[in-house]
């Protein structure tokens, strides 16, 4: 995008100009689409335009920024100014889970969901204070690079490669899944086709220009995603409170929501619905214990009922209803079992409303304490994981200096903060609308947005009239986590163009994170495994070509695994954080702050930390055949890092002290990383 010789200031000015024009262009694009909507453009058409325009834009930036220079490809030439690196990190960081899922999680779990809000922001304090400036001074290409140089030898590097690939791959699956979901929902394409269209956008970008292209694309994606997130929330806030700053205004809305919760929790109609749901769930549970008998009895009862009605010469409509009930009855025991399981699964919906602002609710002190431990456990793992995920840490290799790396962490958190600071407000505003507009409305005249979404996708929103009174009770509403962000524009009564914008924002969030992750995986393999360990004499061009080839292979494998739709997305994301925290954090931080930490300490510490976290997940997460009875202190498997990180730290400490101290050369290396500039210093920076 510019000449390497250019001074930092001129480059910054130039970028500022480009991106100002870009933002203006994007707003004009939205404005034109809004006009087109008024003139009658169809919704599907607008979905396609958003999809094609944004993916083409990202691809275009990729083509413009294509490169085969190693330094450009791996670290964007180390010229990215602090502010822009901050935006790129923001987009790199905020995934589909943050953009689409976060507000919904807050809506559904209330206070407990805030663990992710604090966890995913507070981790940047650790990045800023403990890692970013030192990694920048080291100035190589990857995180395994740092570990390899600091501790010496290929074993540490290999463990680094393994851990980097493991957690990035786990995380990238969740992103590609998000891409498929958004494209298929807003254009009507098949899920699988959606995955590959999105993947095309990711690949053009990272394939042609590596980190350089990914960086400039991520800045562009950040701008889209933040506009998309803030627009509907600000609007909703103005509608409800007259205050355009939702983060301040939602305090009064929260108070109203809390009052309404108390009223609804005592409402006789609500209690009636909950009793009906509970009875059905209990019946399902009982039937499941002996499905064959239940199936046979249900059938006989229905037949008997019909016979009775007929013999008593009951009115025709009653006979018809009884015949209909027989027709709807499960055909065999297997079908009946599925039905009973579904009924049993209704149980949680019979519970009373969890007050939104109350921390750690529970029936007794023990349950409350467990909730509190789990809250802080998740906060801990998300924070340490943030300071250990390779795709984030490498972003601080790309700034021009240590000084810029420090500033850049500030900008990163600031840009991330803008979204995370808004999510709790969005959750409360949406809750207010559901409690006031949806609850108590009649089934004949549901608000348009509720009717639309319930029709489009019942997993996102379904409303069932359990007590057949024709009025919506809160317990009759089932919401999915993704609905809150996706439906906000409609809840706020905004034109459809804003819904398209939100989808484009979610797509930008998922694509940008996937870009960064895929690049991290292929770089760990091409740079650390191939160049550093297999063929150190490989030419720059060869290294970059290999990296590009690997990128394609990894992307295709990831897309394939995603198309199998594995498990729970939130768990995948949480697992990636816990694994990264346990494997990397102790070795990275002690590597900088404790000169005595040595090779054997790092090798055993990384294995022990990662091993502990993996073992805990396997023993406690049902997907791997674990059971929750194996939990320590009642901590959920997502918080495995609570055990992995201390085990890693202690192992490095003890083993390092038991084995000889590192060589003078390595101790000099540590000093080198600690000072931004030393006279007569060694030089570790490449390119």
Distance CA 343, CA 336 (A): 10
Decide: is 301 part of the binding site for other proteins (CB under 8 A).
no
Residues 450-509 binding other proteins (CB under 8 A) are: none
Q: Is 592 left (phi over 0), alpha (psi -120 to 50) or beta?
A: alpha
* Smallest gap from residue 87 Cβ to other proteins (A): 15
Q: Which of 245, 286, 448, 682 binds other proteins (CB under 8 A)?
A: 682
The DSSP line for 440-489 is T-BGGG--HHHHHHHHH-TTTEEE--TT-SSB--GGGEEE-TTHHHHHHH
The helix/strand count (H/E) of the chain reads as 28, 2
300 vs 358 by CB, closer to other proteins:
358
Residue 383 or 597: the one with the smaller Cβ distance to other proteins is: 383
Our finding on whether 413 is near other proteins (CB under 8 A) is: yes
Select from 110-118, 143-151, 482-490, 576-584 the region that touches other proteins (CB under 8 A).
110-118
114 binds other proteins (CB under 8 A): yes
Task: Out of 252, 259, 630, 663, point to the residue binding other proteins (CB under 8 A).
Answer: 252
- Residue 407 interacting with other proteins (CB under 8 A): yes
Alpha-carbon distance 279 to 290, whole Å? 17
Answer yes or no whether residue 288 interacts with other proteins by CB under 8 A.
no
Cβ closest to other proteins, residue 125 vs residue 276: 125
Residue range at the interface with other proteins (CB under 8 A); choices 21-29, 161-169, 243-251, 439-447: 243-251
Smallest distance from other proteins to CB 122, Å: 5
Residues 603, 159 contacting (CB under 8 angstroms): yes
Residue 230 near other proteins by CB under 8 A: no
Shortest CB 189 distance to other proteins, Å: 37
Residue 595 interacts with other proteins (CB under 8 A)? no
CA-based nearest residue to 336, from 374, 392, 297: 297
**Smallest separation (angstroms) from other proteins to the CB of 412:** 9
188 touches other proteins by CB under 8 A: no
Are 400 and 81 a contacting pair, CB within 8 Å? yes
Q: Which stretch binds other proteins (CB under 8 A): 109-117, 434-442, 528-536, 603-611?
A: 109-117
Output Rg (C-alpha) for the chain, integer angstroms: 28
How many residues bind other proteins, per CB under 8 A? 60
CB atoms closer than 10 angstroms to residue 293:
11
Angstrom CA distances, 225 to 291, 346, 389, 480, stand at 50, 36, 22, 21
The answer to the question of residue 365 lying near other proteins (CB under 8 A) is no
Smallest distance, other proteins to C-beta of residue 371, A: 10
Nearer to other proteins, 632 or 675 (CB): 675
Contact 420, 102 (CB under 8 A): yes
Contact 149, 566 (CB under 8 A): no
Range list of H helices, 154-267 = 154-187, 191-241, 246-266
Question: What one-character-per-residue DSSP string does 35-85 give?
Answer: HHHHTT--HHHHHHHHHHHHHHHHHHHHHHT----HHHHHHGGG---HHHH
Of the two residues 149 and 490, which places its CB atom closer to other proteins in the complex? 149
Lookup result for tokens 């791997």:
624
Please answer whether residues 231 and 406 qualify as being in contact, where contact means their C-beta atoms are separated by less than 8 angstroms: no
Tokens of 542: 């060869």
Beta bridge partners of 477: 463
Region from 27-35, 118-126, 339-347, 623-631 binding other proteins, contact rule CB under 8 A: 118-126
User: According to the binding rule CB under 8 A, does residue 532 interact with other proteins?
Assistant: no
User: CA torsion angle for 234, 239, 243, 249 (degrees, to 10)?
Assistant: -80
Range in contact with other proteins (rule: CB under 8 A) among 199-207, 270-278, 458-466, 673-681: 673-681
Q: Does residue 244 touch other proteins according to CB under 8 A? A: no
Site stretch for other proteins (CB under 8 A), options 261-269, 394-402, 459-467, 641-649: 394-402
- Residue closer to other proteins, measured from CB, 133 or 144: 133
- Binder to other proteins among 387, 389, 402, 558 (CB under 8 A)? 402
Q: Which residues contact 250 (CB under 8 A, 6 or more apart)?
A: 237, 241, 424, 425, 428, 429
Say whether residue 66 binds other proteins (CB under 8 A): no
Question: For tokens 């009930």, what's the residue?
Answer: 325
User: Per CB under 8 A, does 329 bind other proteins?
Assistant: no
Helical spans, DSSP H, in 267-311: 268-289, 291-311
Residue number, 73 or 380, with CB nearest to other proteins: 380
Among 358, 442, 459, 541, binds other proteins (CB under 8 A): 358
Q: Pick from 372, 436, 595, 596: which binds other proteins (CB under 8 A)?
A: 372
Does 360 help bind other proteins (rule: CB under 8 A)?
yes
Q: 123: which 2 tokens?
A: 């981790």
Structure tokens, 432: 């207010």
Residue 13 engages other proteins in binding (rule: CB under 8 A):
no
Instruction: Tell me the closest approach of the beta carbon of residue 417 to other proteins, in angstroms.
Output: 6
| Least Å from the CB of residue 94 to other proteins | 14
Please report whether residue 226 would count as binding other proteins according to CB under 8 A.
no
Instruction: Verify binding: residue 633, other proteins, rule CB under 8 A.
Output: no
In angstroms, rounded to a whole number, what is the distance separating the alpha carbons of residues 486 and 205?
Answer: 26
Please state, as a whole number, how many other Cβ atoms lie within 10 Å of the Cβ of residue 353: 16
φ, ψ at 442 (rounded to 5°): -95, 155
**Binding to other proteins, residues 332-351 (CB under 8 A):** none
**What DSSP state is assigned to residue 567?**
S
Query: CB under 8 Å to 230, separation ≥6 — which residues?
Result: 418, 422
Other CB atoms within 10 Å distance of the CB of residue 17: 10
**Alpha-carbon dihedral angle through residues 162, 163, 168, 170, given to the nearest 10 degrees:** 90
420 binds other proteins (CB under 8 A): yes
608 closest CA partner among 163, 165, 169, 150: 163
Q: How far is the CB of 111 from other proteins (least distance, A)?
A: 6
254/554 with CB nearer other proteins: 254
Site string for other proteins, 121-160 (x = CB under 8 A): xx-xxx-xxx--x---------------------------
Q: Is the CB of 162 or the CB of 410 nearer to other proteins?
A: 410
Please identify which residue in 400, 489, 506, 637 interacts with other proteins, judged by CB under 8 A: 400
Interaction between residue 687 and other proteins (CB under 8 A)? no
Stretch that binds other proteins, among 177-185, 209-217, 245-253, 574-582 (CB under 8 A): 245-253
**25 or 359, CB closer to other proteins?**
359
Interface residues with other proteins (CB under 8 A) are 7-8, 111, 114-115, 117-118, 121-122, 124-126, 128-130, 133, 247-248, 251-252, 254-255, 357-360, 368, 372, 375-376, 379-380, 383, 400-404, 406-407, 409-410, 413-414, 417, 420-421, 424, 668, 671-672, 674-682
């Amino acid at each position: 995008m510019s000449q390497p010789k250019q001074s930092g200031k001129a480059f910054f000015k130039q970028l500022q100009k480009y991106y100002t024009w870009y933002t203006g262009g994007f707003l004009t694009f939205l404005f034109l689409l809004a006009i087109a909507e008024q003139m009658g453009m169809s919704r599907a058409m607008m979905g396609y335009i958003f999809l094609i325009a944004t993916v083409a834009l990202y691809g275009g930036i990729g083509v413009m920024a294509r490169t085969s220079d190693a330094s450009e490809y791996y670290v964007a030439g180390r010229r990215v100014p602090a502010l822009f690196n901050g935006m790129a990190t923001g987009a790199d960081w905020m995934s589909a889970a943050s953009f689409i899922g976060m507000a919904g999680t807050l809506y559904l779990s209330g206070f407990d969901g805030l663990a992710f809000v604090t966890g995913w922001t507070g981790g940047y304090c650790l990045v800023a204070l403990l890692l970013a400036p030192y990694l920048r001074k080291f100035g190589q290409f990857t995180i395994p690079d740092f570990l390899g140089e600091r501790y010496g030898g290929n074993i540490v590097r290999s463990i680094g490669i393994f851990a980097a690939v493991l957690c990035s791959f786990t995380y990238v699956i969740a992103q590609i899944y998000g891409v498929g979901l958004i494209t298929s929902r807003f254009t009507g394409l098949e899920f699988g086709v959606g995955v590959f269209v999105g993947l095309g956008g990711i690949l053009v970008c990272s394939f042609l220009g590596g980190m350089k292209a990914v960086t400039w694309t991520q800045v562009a994606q950040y701008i889209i995603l933040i506009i998309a997130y803030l627009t509907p929330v600000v609007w909703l806030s103005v509608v409800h409170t007259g205050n355009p700053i939702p983060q301040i205004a939602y305090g009064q809305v929260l108070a109203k929501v809390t009052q309404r919760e108390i009223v609804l929790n005592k409402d006789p109609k609500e209690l009636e619905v909950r009793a009906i749901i509970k009875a059905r769930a209990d019946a399902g549970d009982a039937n499941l214990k002996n499905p064959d008998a239940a199936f046979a009895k249900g059938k006989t009862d229905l037949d008997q009922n019909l016979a009775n009605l007929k013999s008593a010469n009951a009115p025709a409509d009653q006979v018809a209803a009884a015949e209909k009930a027989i027709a709807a009855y499960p055909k065999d025991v297997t079908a009946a079992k599925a039905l009973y399981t579904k009924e049993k699964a209704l149980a949680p919906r019979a519970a009373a409303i969890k007050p939104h602002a109350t921390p750690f609710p529970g029936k007794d002190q023990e349950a409350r304490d467990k909730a509190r431990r789990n809250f802080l456990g998740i906060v801990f793992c998300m924070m340490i994981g943030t300071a250990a995920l390779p795709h984030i840490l490498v972003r601080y290799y790309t700034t021009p200096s240590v000084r810029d790396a420090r500033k850049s962490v500030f900008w990163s958190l600031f840009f991330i903060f803008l979204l995370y600071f808004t999510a709790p407000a969005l959750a409360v505003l949406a809750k207010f609308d559901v409690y006031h507009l949806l609850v108590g409305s009649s089934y004949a005249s549901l608000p348009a947005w509720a009717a639309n979404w319930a029709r489009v996708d019942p997993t996102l929103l379904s409303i069932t009239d359990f007590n057949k009174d024709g009025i919506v009770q809160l317990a009759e509403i089932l919401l999915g986590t993704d609905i809150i962000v996706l439906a906000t524009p409609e809840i706020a009564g905004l034109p459809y163009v804003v819904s398209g914008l939100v989808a484009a924002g979610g797509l930008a969030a998922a694509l940008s994170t996937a870009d960064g992750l895929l690049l991290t995986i292929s770089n760990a393999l091409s740079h650390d495994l191939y160049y550093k360990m297999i063929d150190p004499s490989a030419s720059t061009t060869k290294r970059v070509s290999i990296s590009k080839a690997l990128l394609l292979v990894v992307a295709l494998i990831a897309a394939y695994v995603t198309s199998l739709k594995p498990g729970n997305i939130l768990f995948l994301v949480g697992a990636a954080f816990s694994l990264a925290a346990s494997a990397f954090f102790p070795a990275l931080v002690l590597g900088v702050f404790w000169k005595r930490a040595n090779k054997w300490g790092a090798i055993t510490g990384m294995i022990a930390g990662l091993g502990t976290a993996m073992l805990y997940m396997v023993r406690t997460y049902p997907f791997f055949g674990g059971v929750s009875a194996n939990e320590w202190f009642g901590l959920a498997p997502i918080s495995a890092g609570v055990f992995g990180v201390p085990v890693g730290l202690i192992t490095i400490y003890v083993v390092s002290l038991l084995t000889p101290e590192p060589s003078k050369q390595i101790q000099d290396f540590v000093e080198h990383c600690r000072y931004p500039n030393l006279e007569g210093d060694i030089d570790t920076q490449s390119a």
